[in-house]
Chains A and B, each alone.
Chain A
Amino acid sequence: MSNKNSIYGIILLTVIWIILRESIDYLTVIIGVIVSICCIYFCRKLIPLPKTPKIKFLRFMIYLLFLFGQVYTAGFFAIKVILTDAHIEIVEIRTKMSSMFFKTILVNSITLVPGSVSLGLQGDKITVLWLQQKTKDACGESIEKADEILIGKLQRMLIKAER
């Protein structure tokens, strides 16, 4: 772990310590910093942060907000599907992301959005379990557009966040 990442880690852990201690006096902050330094020191070999690619912070925050909105949009659609008639499909979609870090974020985002759970990531291929509304044409057209429906917008926003 680089020095810059260590400092970010210490700040984050100290903030969590203050929240859990429910006080912000000097003693709490000092003990928090010492405990955080110890944690980072002993775990430095376990956290592979130097491999993390550079991220455009603001774009990434916009992505997280968009993902939060998507969770609710997909949630309301899932309610409709659950109350009518559900149909599940295992589809394979391809991602354009190059870095493994962003691919992992994309796959986790797919699982976080209600109505889809990722089953595997192999190279550029993502296997997704997909909840759909049952239709007469057995969702044939939807499967062809699965890439766009499942990861289209998320992927475009994530590419913008990649530096």
Chain B
Amino acid sequence: MAQTKRKPDLHAISNSKPTPSKDDLKKFYRDMLLIRRFEEKAAQLYGMGLIGGFCHLYIGQEAVVTGITSVQDTERDSVVTTYRDHAHMLACDMDPRMVMAELTGRIDGYSRGKGGSMHMFSKEKRFFGGHGIVGACASIGTGLGFAHKYKEDGGVAIVYNGDGGANQGQVYECYNMAALWKLPILYVIENNKYAMGTSTTRHAAGELYKRGEGFGIPGEQVDGQDIFEVQRAAKQALDYIREGNGPYILEMMTYRYRGHSMSDPAKYRTKEEVSSWKDERDPIDKVKRYMLEEEGMSEDRDLKLIEKEIKQIIKETEEFAQTSPFPDESELWTDVLVSAEDQA
């Protein structure tokens, strides 16, 4: 019988004893910092009117996708997520310049400027979107897992969804099929406490990580602000899945510092609440502290070097996204169908 597990007190600093190497730590720090700086730059470009429409930022949640990606098999596994997707693309090693160029609606964007913030894909990096309809990625991700099993390619589908999306009916239709057919799928619920402006206490009955219990899918609630915990839990879940046991649910307890999208002033929560997460539980600060205090790494040599590298990447990203041309008008008509001519 599958088990569900839960940490007794999520707000307590995790007492797990990580043993990451110095290189692992540097990579954690680098990858999370890249996401944060990228998102801050996106917010700035949005403010300048260079990015339009909806733009959902991931600031605060960086440890979730970074920790999981650190233990996935990037050659075989596939990833799908919601519209809060920039970080997942960066974690999948997609080119930040092309992601940002899509945000600015330019021809060098991943979708040639036709998708925007919420709709980007990379077949090469096995990133399957970027989906704008809440809950849809759960079904699509179940199909990715179905295909891994059908093709016997050893891959696992890593399917990100939010706490809001966790209430969609199709999620349970998919839990049922995934468990029935033992599909290789890691369902990640990024619980950032708010479905747009409605808190989990007002939109979700019971615990999200337990919602697979009726189907026999094990679930675990994890401190999503602690990358060591995220990594540990993801590794354990992926091992379980790769052994052929079927799907697994990880509920990542996390927090977004910004509003739901750029146009959300986030008045449904207090300043104190936001700053307590920022000040006490920031995932990047946690790794930084660990590097300095536990590992005795040097702020000047180790951290500054990384910060400088990220700064340079963001600078190039911004420049690229602002100078890449707008799509030619002929692009309006292309890519609606795969044409016989395209295939020849």
A and B: partners?
A: no
Interface residues of A (CB under 8 A from B): none
